[in-house]
Structure 1
Amino acid sequence: MRRLIPSRFLRYVRPMTNARDVLASFRALPVTGIEALTGTGPLLVLAPHPDDESLGCGGVIAEACARGETVYVTIVTDGAASHPNSQTHSRKRLQSTREQEVLAAVAELGLPPSRVSFLRLPDGRAPHRGPQFKDAVATLTRFARDNAIATICTTWQHDPHPDHLASFRLARATARSLGIRLFSYPVWGWTLSSRTWLPRAETDGFRVDVGAHLPAKRRAVACHKSQIAGLIEDDPAGFALSHEFRAIFDGPFETFIRS
């Protein structure tokens, strides 16, 4: 039988997995308590944009706060590119607005503002490598060391958004430098279609039952008014979290993948 790929190239071939199967495996992951994330020490939630912390980890943040566990939130980008055509909200104003939205959101989850920090990397252009990437890793490493972070949670590396991949790479570099645990949570990954194939997609992880905190999580998501509707009206092409997308995160479980 004739080979379709010359043998000398086989070592470069990576196995692929259909996204539909990967997401189905996520929905079947075992359910565990939050101690799987916080049992070894303080938790850092690294979110690419203001709102990702509430969508992907809002329930876990609320549960950690309710149990008196130590959790921090760091936002990677400035979030200033969501409405580029707005005349009422310049990039500087939008950055400030979105940071205030984060503080209001995490307050609904029980987290004090002193536990929130901002890297303010450019929205849509968070670095994947190079000097700016190294500087961000150094900042995160210092923060994690100073606060005895034991676990980092960030967005899934297969989320179809460059800033989400950048956040994963920042978290991975930081976790490796300190020898601490890394988990990832899907955000835009939940929207991948069956036409998408993923290389070496990890499926080892668990789900955390956050049903008791859904009301607080909904309030937290609603705090991100600039990303929902009504606050910025002069940029029809601006970004908005649709009701259908927000509904993905309105269930009793949050998913975490061992990375």
Structure 2
Amino acid sequence: MRASEFLAQADRLPVGDLHALTGGGGLVVVAPHPDDESLGCGGLIAEAAARGLPMRLVVLSDGVGSHPNSRRYPPERLRCLREAETLAAVARLGLAPGHVRFLRLPDRFVPSEGPAAEAAAESIAEAARDCRAGALFVTWAHDPHCDHQAAARLALRALRARRILPGLRAYAYPVWGWALAPDIEVGPPPRGLRLDIAAHREAKQAAIAEHRSQVTDLIDDDPEGFRLEPAMLARFAGRHEIFLAIPPETEP
């Protein structure tokens, strides 16, 4: 199925509640970069917090690729900034800082093979065990960003290696997938659910705003620096978040 048709159908998936997604268990969100958790899963995290469900956030990359030429924010300072932004963001959503893990893999070079990938997959598994997760959420494998694709492979590596709780459900959340060329082939029609996050839209927008390095001119000394555009942000301001069911037979 072509991306344009797939995403249009994804926008019309049935609406389900948190129990329908997790089966009543906890949840793990895997974010390739600091900010993906707020963009794709801000409402999900807020709803889980409101219901008292245990959850963990695993942030894979150090996020320093967003402003590679900044002198005021060299890599170490930028990493610290982006981690602080993430903790402030998830606090807006109700997630405690002790439930966030930063793996600090290289931004734009998150591995999906080798020892570092094995360690990352084990960290994802450990997070799932810690909260007795019923569901895992990771970026869509068709997102046109190498780290988002690597994140999907790492999650599947953990799932297929049976490191995580039996029966764990897996879902993908699109972030950059909305920017795919419309004629790109992305596979069979979507399955999954939309979550109504109307009660948490304000908290989600506040969480996104905490990522100041990504949504404002806070870092203004890098002409090649990244900034989320208003049209992109508008995509994540709606009433629903989309979670695509990942078939258990999917290859890692």
Q: Identity of aligned pairs, percent?
A: 47
Match of 1:237 among 214, 224, 232: 224
In the alignment, the residues of structure 1 paired with residue 38 and residue 146 of structure 2 have an alpha-carbon distance, to the nearest angstrom, of 19
1:116 to partner: Cα distance: 0.8
Q: Which amino acid aligns with 1:147?
A: C
Q: How does 1:183-202 map to 2 (within 5 A)?
A: 183-198=171-186, 200-201=187-188
1:219 maps onto 2:211 in alignment: no
Matched residue, 1:8: none
- Please give the alpha-carbon distance, in whole angstroms, between the structure 2 residues aligned to 1:105 and 1:40: 25
Q: Shift of residue 202 of structure 1?
A: 5.2
- TM-score using structure 1 length: 0.90
Query: Residue deviations 1:49-105, cap 9 Å, x none?
Result: 000000000001111111111121110101011101100001100000000000000
TM-score in terms of structure 2 length: 0.92
Distance 2:120 2:72 in 1: 31
Q: How far apart, in 2, do the equivalents of 1:139 and 1:251 lie?
A: 31
| 8 A Cα contact 2:27 2:131, kept in partner | no
Q: Secondary structure at the match of 1:84?
A: coil
> Counterpart of 1:62?
46
Rounded Cα–Cα distance in structure 1 between residues aligned with 2:230 and 2:188: 28
SS in 2 for 1:251: coil
1:102-138: per-residue Cα shift (whole Å, max 9, x none)? 0000011111111111111100000021221112112
Q: Does 1:85 align with 2:72?
A: no
Contact 1:202–1:258 (CA under 8 A) maintained in structure 2? no
Computing the radius of gyration from Cα coordinates, the structure with the larger value is: 1
Question: Structure 1 residue 100 and structure 2 residue 84: aligned?
Answer: yes
**1:208 aligned partner:** 195
Q: How far did 1:148 drift?
A: 2.1
**Gaps in structure 1 of 5+ consecutive residues:** 1-16
Instruction: Write out per-residue CA displacement over residues 224-252 of structure 1, whole angstroms, 9 at most, x where no aligned residue.
Output: 00011221010021011011100000000
Which residue does the alignment assign to 2:237?
250
Q: 1:242 to 1:209 in 2, by over 3 A?
A: same
Find the aligned partners of 1:203 and 1:240 in 2 and give their Cα distance.
29
Contact kept? 1:210, 1:253, Cα under 8 Å: yes
The within-5 A match list for 1:130-209 is 130-176=114-160, 177=162, 178=164, 179=166, 180-198=168-186, 200-201=187-188, 203-209=190-196
CA-CA distance at 1:174 after TM superposition: 1.5
- Quick one: distance in 2 between partners of 1:54 and 1:144? 19
Q: Does 1:126 align with 2:114?
A: no
Note if contact 1:46-1:53 (Cα within 8 Å) is conserved in structure 2: yes
How many aligned positions are there?
242
Question: More deviation in 84-93 or 35-44?
Answer: 35-44
Segments of 4+ in structure 1 off by > 3 A? none
Q: How far apart, in 2, do the equivalents of 1:225 and 1:116 lie?
A: 19
CA distance in 2, matches of 1:101, 1:201: 37
Q: Does the C-alpha gap of structure 1 residues 230 and 222 become closer, same or farther in structure 2, counting only changes over 3 Å?
A: same
Partner of 1:7: none
Q: Report the CA distance between 1:201 and its aligned residue.
A: 4.2
Measured on the aligned residues, the alpha-carbon RMSD in Å equals 1.2
